[in-house]
Structure formats: structure tokens, C-alpha cells
Structure 1
Amino acid sequence: MDSPTSIAWPAVPMSRLRNAQAALLTLALHGLVLALLLANWPVEKPAAPSISTISMQLLSLPPPAPVMVAPPPVPVEAPVPEVRVPVEPQIDPRIAQHKLEQAALAHKRVQQEKLERERQRLERKREQQARLEQQQREQAHQRQLAEQLAAQQRQQAAAAAEQARQAEAAAAASRQYLPIAKQAPAYPQRALDKGIEGECTVSYRVNAQGRVEQPEVVGACHPLFIRPSLAAAQSFRYQPRVIDGRAVAVANVKNTFTYRIE
């Protein structure tokens, strides 16, 4: 039995198919445009019937222009992006060395400025400390002067008080044993003949009855003035000192005799 015969159709290239499709599309567009023109053509109203001669004229349209089939677009390959590798700029070694030197100088200037500011700060601090110490020394000196002045004033006040007390005591003592009778000594003839002058101090004790006891010469005294001075002191009479209503003796009472030739 014979096998059925297969019919082999010739293969139509894709380019011809694309051209046929483009031609059909062009004809369809032209027909659409013509239909639109006919649809929009103005229609006049029919005139009144009249007897006229109908003339017909055959219009012949020009043959359609040949359809130019555009060639199929040639596929354009997408451009491959160019990868640019960054190229490091070449630096001149001298410029780099100069920049390094400038940076080192700038850093050195900054360090020097910091050191100068620190030095000025320390100097101001030392000056303030010195002024504070000077003020403290001056204040201490003023306090010391004030203390010395106060001490002197206290000493003067104490001395004045002591002098007043001594004067008061002396006055009180003198009032209590004031001499009742005091006779001047006789000037020795031999001292007059020789023109001798001088002083003689006699110390003695005034007893409770106001009489002089134990007279003796103290200090420098010319021998010619000793006997008359002791005799004169022995003749003195005093008002006795009274304490708590009782008369008491007073020791170490002194009297100075002066011998002058007039």
C-alpha cells in the first residue's frame, strides 16, 4: 500500500511577509481616509424641478501611487557601557614633599602657639600669686605694726598706771610719814675753808614713833660731809605711818643733803 504523499510548501521568507503586511496596512489607511472624506462631503439641497439637460462626464482618477515598502528595521545592538577605571593622577614628588613640609610647619606653629598661650597663662598665674603674696605680706606687716602699736600703747598705759600708782603710793607714804622737824646740817668749817662742795645721801628707818633709826651713808659722799649728814638725819622727826589704825615702821627712807657755798 502506497504511503500518502506529503506536499512540501515553499518557505516564505519573513522579510516578504513583513512587506505584505505593510502594504495591506497602507491600503487600509487609504480606504479609511477616503471614507472619511466622503462622509464629510457637503450635500446641497435639491433645487426645484426644472427641465434641464443632463450631461454626464466621466472622471478618470489617476492610478494610485506605488506603495513604497519601508525596509525592515535593522536591529541595533545596545551599546555596551564602557567601564572606565579611575586612573590615579600622578603626583609630583616635589609637590608632595612641599605639602608635607607646609603641613609640618603649620603643625609646628600650632604647637608653638599653644606653648606660648600656656606660658602666658602660667606667667599671669605667677603674677597673680605674687600679687596675692605681696598683699598678704603687706596685710601681715600692717597687722604686726598694729599689734606693736597696741603693745606700745598697752605698755605706755601700764607704765602710766604704774607711775600713777607709785606716785599715789609715794604720796600716801609721804603723807603718812611727813617730817615734822627737819634741820639742815652744819657746813663743815674745813670744807668751807677748802671750798669743797658736794652731796651726801643718808638712808635710815623711821620707826612707829616717827624717830630715825640706823642712819647710814649710801653712795659717794665726801668724808667731810658724812658726820654732819648723819647728825642731821638723826634729828629728823616724822609723822608715823598708820595702817589699819596701827602705826608701823618705814624702812629704807632716804634723804640727800646738798652742800653748796653761796
Structure 2
Amino acid sequence: MSSLTLEMPAPRLAWPAWREHGFAIGVAIALHAGLAYVLLHLAHQAPLPTPLTTVLTTELISLPAPVIQPPAPVVAEPAVAPPPAEAPVEAPAPEQADLAFKRAEQAREEQALRLQRERQQRRAEAQRQERLAREEAARQAQLEAQQLAEARRLEAERVAAANAAAAAARAEAQAASRQYLPIAKQAPDYPAKALERKIEGECTVAYTVNAAGRVEDPQVVGNCHPFFVKPSLAAARTFRYQPRVVNGQAVAVANVKNTFSYRIE
């Protein structure tokens, strides 16, 4: 047989509802009372003073009509075509990238080789030009040396020839003077007519000295006064010479000249 046991709760102290909200009710009453006091205080304040009236005076002014500029013609701007859309650049495949890299490397190597060949060609050309310049300078120096040597040789030959000619002339003069030296020369008589007229002058006679040393065929050469021709020829015929001997034989000497001078002292 079951049994039920009932337990009664302990009694709690309960407050009325108006006591729990009393504080809020008091605050609301205080706010309403303050608001009523402010409204009542404002209602009893003095009235605001009447604002002063300001009088405005206006005057009508006529202005000239504004000049209306004609509207500027509107130039239609040419339609600009939109730029073509760039095709999307596809990323190169690894094989294409390697191929492009190899081609770039090959191009750089070819350019380097070309530059090296050009430098070698320029160096070879410079060396060739320098060699040609040296050869030309050597050729010019050799030519100048040859010309100088030739000039010296010609000068030496000319001097030698001149010396030989002078020696031959001296020897001939010595031989001539030694071989047909005059032995006897008689001065001509002064013409009386020339002496009376006080005429002076010179007369040259050319003749041949024969193997015997005598004068043959005297002739007057050059300018000679007529007064002096006869006495000059007569005096020349009286000359005696030592004959010239060649190889042991006496020979004649042609074109021997003698000049007679006629002076009044």
C-alpha cells in the first residue's frame, strides 16, 4: 500500500507592487513638476520689444541691351575607334622558351664573332697601311739618296771636267807660249796724220806663225782706224817667233793675234 507525503514550503515575505516601482514613479513626478514650473515662469516674463522698421528707397536704372554673341559652330569630333582588343598572350611552352633562349645565345655568339672579325680586319688593314707607309718612306729616302748621290757625282764630274779643262788650257797656254814665244817685236810708227789730229786708238791684227817662226797673211780684225791699218800690218810682218814643235816637228800656228795701241804721251 503506497503512501503520499506532502511538504509545505516556508512562507516568503511579499511586498506590494506599488512599493517596487515607487522610485520610478517619484522621478516621473519630479520631472513633470519641474517642467510645469519652467512653463509658468516663461509665461510671466516681460514681452519682447517691438522691432524697428527699416525703410528702403529704390531707384529705377535703365541698362543697355546686352550684345548677344552668335553661338560658335559646334564641330563634331571625329569618332575615335576603340583600340583593338589585344589578343591574350599565351605563355610560351617550356620547349619554345628553351628554343628562344638558344636562338638568342646563338645570335649573341654570331654577333660576337662578327665583331671579332671586324676588329681583326681593321687591325690587318691598319697594319697594311702602316707597312705601305714605311715602304713608301723607305722608297722616298732611297730615291732622295740616289738623287743626292747623282747630284754629287755630276758635281764631281763637272768640277773634274772644269779642272781638267783649266789644266789643259794652262798646259796649252804654257806650251803655246813656250813653243812660239816672240823673239822680236817692233812697235809700229805713229801715223803723222793721226798725230797731227791727235787721234788715238787700237788695232788688232791676226796672222799665222809658220814653221820658220815668221808671220804670214796678216789681217786687221775688229774696229781699226784707217790711219792705223798700214803701220799695224807692217809692224806685224816684222815679228819673229820661236816655232811650235809637235812630235819633234815644227808646225804652223794659225790665228795668232796681236793688238797695237796708239797713244799720244
Secondary structure (helix, strand or coil) at the match of 1:184 reads: coil
Q: Does 1:211 align with 2:214?
A: yes
Determine the structure 2 residue equivalent to 1:142.
145
Aligned partner letter, 1:169 = E
Structure 2, unaligned runs of 5 or more: 1-92
Determine the structure 2 residue equivalent to 1:250.
253
May I ask how many residue pairs the two structures share in their alignment?
A: 173
Structure 1, unaligned runs of 5 or more: 1-87
Give the TM-score normalised by the residue count of structure 2. Answer: 0.53
After superposition, the CA RMSD in angstroms is 3.2
Q: Does 1:234 align with 2:233?
A: no
- Residues 107, 161 of structure 1: CA spacing in aligned structure 2 closer, same or farther, 3 A cutoff? same
Secondary structure (helix, strand or coil) at the match of 1:149 reads: helix
Q: How does 1:1-262 map to 2 (within 5 A)?
A: 89-92=94-97, 96=100, 100=103, 103-188=106-191, 198-259=201-262
Displacement after TM superposition at 1:145 (Å): 1.6
Q: Please give the per-residue CA displacement for 1:100-137, whole angstroms capped at 9, x wherever unaligned.
A: 45643552343133123212212222222222222122
Q: Please give the per-residue CA displacement for 1:168-202, whole angstroms capped at 9, x wherever unaligned.
A: 12211211111112233445566667776654332
Structure 1 Cα separation of the partners of residues 137 and 105 of structure 2: 47
Structure 2 Cα separation of the partners of residues 241 and 156 of structure 1: 31
- Residues 228, 122 of structure 1: CA spacing in aligned structure 2 closer, same or farther, 3 A cutoff? farther
- Residues 156, 127 of structure 1: CA spacing in aligned structure 2 closer, same or farther, 3 A cutoff? same
Structure 2 Cα separation of the partners of residues 221 and 117 of structure 1: 91
Displacement after TM superposition at 1:235 (Å): 2.2
Structure 2 Cα separation of the partners of residues 251 and 128 of structure 1: 69
Aligned partner letter, 2:246 = I
Aligned partner letter, 1:227 = K
Determine the structure 2 residue equivalent to 1:68.
none
Structure 2 Cα separation of the partners of residues 258 and 101 of structure 1: 114
- Residues 196, 122 of structure 1: CA spacing in aligned structure 2 closer, same or farther, 3 A cutoff? farther
Secondary structure (helix, strand or coil) at the match of 1:242 reads: strand
Q: Please give the per-residue CA displacement for 1:4-41, whole angstroms capped at 9, x wherever unaligned.
A: xxxxxxxxxxxxxxxxxxxxxxxxxxxxxxxxxxxxxx
Structure 1 Cα separation of the partners of residues 264 and 111 of structure 2: 103
Secondary structure (helix, strand or coil) at the match of 2:187 reads: coil
- Residues 222, 131 of structure 1: CA spacing in aligned structure 2 closer, same or farther, 3 A cutoff? farther
Secondary structure (helix, strand or coil) at the match of 2:235 reads: helix
Aligned partner letter, 2:146 = R
Structure 2 Cα separation of the partners of residues 101 and 117 of structure 1: 24
Residue range with higher mean Cα deviation, 204-213 or 185-194: 185-194
Secondary structure (helix, strand or coil) at the match of 1:210 reads: coil
Aligned partner letter, 1:143 = Q
Structure 1 Cα separation of the partners of residues 96 and 244 of structure 2: 124
- Residues 198, 138 of structure 1: CA spacing in aligned structure 2 closer, same or farther, 3 A cutoff? farther
Give the TM-score normalised by the residue count of structure 1. Answer: 0.54
- Residues 104, 202 of structure 1: CA spacing in aligned structure 2 closer, same or farther, 3 A cutoff? farther
